[in-house]
Structure 1
Amino acid sequence: MRKMDYEQQKGVLAVLLWPLLYISGMGLSNYIVYHGYHIEYGGDGYANAMLPFLAVLAAGALICLFAQRERLALPWKERGRLSLFLIVFLPLAAMALYFLLTNGSFTNAFMAPLAAMLLVGVAEETMFRRILFIRLLGLFQGQSFTKPLLISAACFSLLHAVNIFGGLPAPQVLMQIAATFVAGLFYVLMFDYTRNIHLLIVMHFLWDYILFSGATQQIPVYAILMGLLQVAEVIIMLLLLAGKWGQNVAAERT
């Protein structure tokens, strides 16, 4: 794999500015909520306290997308596929719908996590997949898929390191960093597979909503199902990585 030249290095640093600002904003938000409102990460009232900060971050991601729209044209001409996406998406959608129907209400305690996780899905998929990954693909056009994949996943993982400012214990932060690096790989590969950022936004929203809404506590089997879906994500990720490796080998032989 060819090393980055000087111009590419400068380009990567420029592209990283926006996600690093987003990460800093998330860290500051967690710090204010924890030290100012005395609400720890994931605790009671966390989603409600984070709502205004998440709204600002989501707006910032969308503004960034609009400002760079000329550099962010999608590189794919063919339509994406859905079969592997639906393996994870359909169970998530069914679980979220059942929880809404059986436990839903119009109280603030119920609606705040719904709104907060929707904002997270919009902001994070826009920033780390639609902006960061696509800009990196442009910088490494025709050279490498691996570098944009790894850089995007690493930045997404770094985003979750700032949860330590929200009072999350260091061992749990380290577990999140590892888990979200794998998730970052999965989401990038799934973006390349589906070619549709809106589907990823919905998937990301549903995943986080089930975890942060208390659904896994109120319906214990959901914890098992989410574990199985994580395994499915890893298997799908490995299949897609193997497919990319096969494409690279074939390209080198031609």
Structure 2
Amino acid sequence: MIAGMMRIGDKTDAEIRELYDSAREAGVSYFDHADLYGFNFPDGGYHLCERRFAEAVKLSSSEREGIVLQSKTGIVEDPWGYDQSYEHIVASVDESLKSLNMDYLDVLLLHRPDVLVEPEEVARAFDELEAAGKVRAFGVSNHTPRQIDLLKTAVKQPLLVNQVQFSITHSSLVAQGMTSNMTTSDDAFTRDGGGLVDYARVNKITLQAWSPIQIGHEPGIFLGSLDYPELNAEIEGAVANRNSR
């Protein structure tokens, strides 16, 4: 389980600390950030959520060693686009560490594919960040198998994670594998992202699900939604069975 920090930009210190403490009490020790998180809040900007996390939680050295801290880079706002250049990756990580008031990231992900990426630039950045002890592991987010293979032509570190949109109401990654060659289903068409689940399993890449209780591309969540009565009945039944044990 991973606690996402995308929406803490307008929370008070007390609210952020309560969120953190509740996660730790529930056994969650993995926290997800991105340089982009916070840019759309009033008086916000890049790295806002990272700064608010550090200001509110104020981790001790022992607390820091007990958690996994992940951040992402690669999306630029003005104009909106993607930048996986050596300069951008290194500068973003340095600013993330400053904002988080930490010496290293456990995991760094490339947030979204840069279709004009130069794998050698990414490799240079990853090598420097790893050698300096600023990042301990690497991965990607929202990347297709071919995009990962392109990066691997130069990047020597294992790409351990691919963070993708995946949930009960957005399950096309699994549906593609079940409907292959079935002309009645749109998922039968294999696009570049086809076979991502199998690719991840073959290459020992962990698929992280972002916004796993969100209603597909729509705002809001499916838990308690009147639009998903059968799904919520199943979830409530499962929770009741677990609590009765």
Query: Same fold per TM (> 0.5)?
Result: no
Instruction: Answer 1 or 2: higher relative contact order, Cα 8 Å, separation at least 6.
Output: 1
Sort the TM-score into its range (normalised by shorter chain): under 0.3
Q: TM-score, normalised by structure 2?
A: 0.26
Q: Which has the higher helix share?
A: 1
